[in-house]
Amino acid sequence: MKPGALEDLSERRHAMVATQIAARGVRSPKVLDAMRAVPREAFVPEHMRKLAYQDSPLPIGSGQTISQPHVVALMIEALDLKGGENVLEVGGGSGYAAAVLGQIAGTVCSIERIEKLAQSAKETLAALGYNNVEMRYGDGTRGCPDKAPFDAIVVAAGTPEVPYPLKEQLKVGGRLVIPVGRSDHFQHLVRLTRVSEDQYDEEDLAPVRFVPLIAETYH
């Protein structure tokens, strides 16, 4: 994508942050600044770019979607990042949320289970200069043991229960934000805070709708 094409939509991006994110309760200056900085149009198919700043999910191929901007902002705000953290994202998709995380965190490891999406996201992130974001292809329910422990973990897919490896890879004091529910397309956004080696506090944040998290090993 030509730099000029991205620049043309910056006004829409700032308006989206003001009207769809800040106006709906997201207050973190770091999250709002990150959302203003990341060109969402770079992470959607070319024919969808004019729709990039609608507050809605958009198809990105392989039966997957890029989450609506408000939900991305809500989930990242719930991680309570101060800057410089080591973060894990499960369900990388096209790489958009990973880029937003990369504006705040020190390092981001993002895992995507569909190889085609993971490769495309990796190329987009590299082209935009996100050197602190690593996109991996694999089973996100296993986490990223070689990069653990994490200050924060965010999961962009719904699951009936929190995968045990993710809980184990969270630092004491760290936060894990994940959609939890029995329905494939309706969940509650939950935040777990690890308060000790074997204890987690749980908060229910909001109703959400995500594609299901699928545990499958890829080689």
d(CA 28, CA 50): 27
For 58, the token pair is 């958009």
Closest of 215, 217, 201, 133 to residue 167, by C-alpha? 201
Query: Helix, strand, coil shares of the chain as percentages rounded to 5?
Result: 40, 30, 35
Phi/psi for 142 (5° steps) reads: -90, -5
CB 173 within 8 A of CB 199: no
Computed over its alpha carbons, how large is the radius of gyration of the chain? 16
Give start and end residues of each alpha helix (H) in the chain.
3-8, 10-16, 29-37, 69-78, 96-104, 115-127, 164-168
The Cβ-side half-sphere exposure at 170, using a 13 Å CA radius, reads 30
Catalytic residue among 28, 67, 94, 110: 67
Query: Is 120 part of the annotated catalytic residue set?
Result: no
Active site residues: 67
